[in-house]
């Protein structure tokens, strides 16, 4: 007997958590970064899909924490802690942060991918969460899926096929 495996979908500027045997996925990462937090001995994991590096960029009245690298990671850690995971045991896998278009322009927007990756790494470092796998940069869109059972992150791209990290 096997229970059906469902895929928990995470949208843009969104986050969620998953427990094995289910898997968690986010699709169409371009300049956005997908961050998976997990404990190697447990079968619970969380995934956030961030768009922007820092919440200080927000000019909106209400803050969607899942949109920014710094606030999203903190929020995801909190959610995993309420599920019984210890912050000090968490590891991370990250993917995304591509530069989809090559522009000669000077605009900061065009560098948003690399800036997102930098912000994610900085926040993880400040929380002493190690990155065990990453597939960042480049110029391809990515769809990622994490299994909290195997702790493997499957990265699918249009141009370079599928691989796991």
Binding of other proteins at residue 142 (CB under 8 A)?
A: yes
**Residue 62 has what DSSP assignment?**
S
Q: Which is nearer to other proteins, 55 or 149 (CB)?
A: 55
CB of 98 to other proteins, least distance (A): 7
Minimal distance, residue 112 CB to other proteins, in Å? 5
Q: Which of 18, 23, 32, 124 binds other proteins (CB under 8 A)?
A: 32
Q: How does DSSP assign 12-49, residue by residue? A: TTEEEEEETT-EEEEEEESSSEEEEEE-TTSSEEEEEE
Q: Rank residues 61 and 84 by Cβ distance to other proteins and give the closer one.
A: 61
Numbers of helices and strands, H then E, in the chain: 2, 10
Q: By CB under 8 A, is residue 15 in contact with other proteins?
A: no
């Amino acid at each position: 007997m096997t229970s059906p495996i469902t895929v928990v979908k995470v949208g843009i500027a969104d986050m969620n958590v998953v427990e094995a045997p289910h898997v968690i996925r986010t699709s169409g990462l371009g300049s956005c970064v997908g961050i998976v937090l997990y404990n190697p001995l447990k079968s619970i994991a969380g995934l956030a899909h961030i768009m922007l590096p820092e919440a200080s960029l927000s000019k909106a009245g209400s803050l969607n924490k899942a949109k920014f690298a710094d606030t999203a990671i903190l929020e995801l850690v909190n959610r995993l802690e309420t599920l019984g995971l210890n912050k000090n045991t968490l590891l991370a896998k990250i993917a995304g942060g591509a530069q989809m278009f090559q522009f000669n322009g000077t605009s900061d927007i065009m560098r948003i991918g690399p800036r997102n990756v930098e912000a994610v790494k900085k926040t993880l470092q400040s929380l002493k969460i190690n990155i065990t796998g990453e597939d960042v940069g480049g110029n391809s869109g990515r769809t990622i899926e994490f299994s909290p059972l195997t702790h493997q992150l499957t990265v699918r791209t249009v141009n370079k096929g599928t691989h796991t990290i």
